[in-house]
Amino acid sequence: MDSSGWRSLGRSSIVLARDLSSNRFKGRAFAANPHRAMKVASIVGARPQFIKAWPVSRELRRVGHRETIVHTGQHYDQQMSDVFFAEMGIARPDHFLEIGSGSHGSQTGRMLMAVEETLVGERPDLVLVYGDTNTTLAAAIAACKLGVKLAHVESGLRSYNRTMPEEHNRVLTDHCSDLLFCPTQTAVENLAREGIVQGVHLVGDVMYDAVLAFGARAREQSHILESLGVSPQSYMLATVHRAYNTDDPAILRRLIAAFDAIGETVLFPLHPRTRARLTSSGGMPALRQVRLIDPVGYLDMLALEQQARAILTDSGGVQKEAFFFEVPCITLRPETEWVETVAAGWNVLVGADADAIVAAARAAKPPAQAPPRVFGDGNAAAAIAALIA
């Protein structure tokens, strides 16, 4: 599908907007004037957030907002962080907090302290957070405690699986937020069921903005397929990083064994958490069809996704990118926040059931109907920048 195929959903899709002129922070009104320049602190820390932040940061700066980028360091190595800033042309962070890894409580607590100190120094009008990571929650709590207005990009998502750390992060952040930017109508409805209707805006998905901007460039500029010696449609792509699939060595090895049993080449970029778990639980397994590779940059990942026969993943972002590129997806979870991809027939939920994984992968093929236009028109970031004013 070309990039123009998704553009028919107009700006009338932005619903439930409230009159921002009544909102106040530290005695200053949020002006209705769209030319009012705001000082915005954008808090990022993990690979998906860099992707989501790119179109929003570009629009904030284009319309005259003053943006400060704070990188917590949740993902901090070159392959999971630096390469995204370089490839996407994101402005370098103004503050790098170097938090690094750790248990959820320890990491979130250290982030909270460091983000709070940074916000006290910067004195922003608004804190902007993305998604559902520990970075998201820490920044949300810091903003809330300091009385700074908070905006949440990718608000309203729900898996209704409270064993997931991400579910706690997104629910708590939504209930702290003043502006809630939803990617889908389902997200708006999820918030309404929890009594959140003020400050809710249906803007579309910022990851779709990024895919429209970088999808064609990835196919033109990336040489990842040639370097790996594979051709389009001759392989499947797998990603695994969520704790419930990586923390239990038996589950992780069952997933990899299932990939190997599919009987086709499976390219498997190893997330650092996944590699560490495999190494600590007895080393890498012997594999015939699965090719373990290092994490790849954004353009290489888009190229691999676009040209795969099917994708196996537990990543929310990769599920959506598969949907955007019209590639069948097998999700290694029993549920998903992105229910639209399942309803449209482009995504199948299999959990960690080895037999279900093998069967779904072997049967994977594109549905007869193209993906519906449920993630907006590719102008989510522009809508967000305008609403912030």
Task: Return the active site residues.
Answer: 241
Cα dist from 170 to 45, 203, 318, whole Å: 15, 18, 18
Pair 225, 341: CB distance under 8 Å: no
Q: Return all residues near 279 (Cβ < 8 A) that are at least 6 apart.
A: none
Q: Which amino acid is at 265?
A: T
Using CA atoms, how far apart are residues 166 and 181, in angstroms rounded to an integer? 17
Q: Which long-range contacts (CB under 8 A, 24 or more apart) does 243-252 make?
A: 243/165, 243/273, 244/163, 244/164, 245/314, 245/332, 245/333, 245/352, 246/271, 246/273, 246/274, 246/277, 247/277, 249/277, 249/278, 249/280, 249/281, 249/282, 251/352, 252/277, 252/278, 252/281
Q: Per-residue DSSP letters for 14-64? A: --S---GGG-EETTEE--S-TT---EEEEEE-SHHHHHHHHHHHHHHHHTT
Angle at 226 between CA 329 and CA 279, to 5 degrees: 65
Q: Which amino acid is at 142?
A: A
Cα dist from 287 to 267, 290, 301, whole Å: 12, 6, 22
Query: Would you call 232 helix, strand, or coil by DSSP?
Result: coil
Using CA atoms, how far apart are residues 210 and 178, in angstroms rounded to an integer? 25
Backbone phi, psi, residue 68, to 5°: -115, 125
Q: Which amino acid is at 33?
A: N
Indicate the length of the chain as a whole number: 389
Pair 256, 285: CB distance under 8 Å: yes
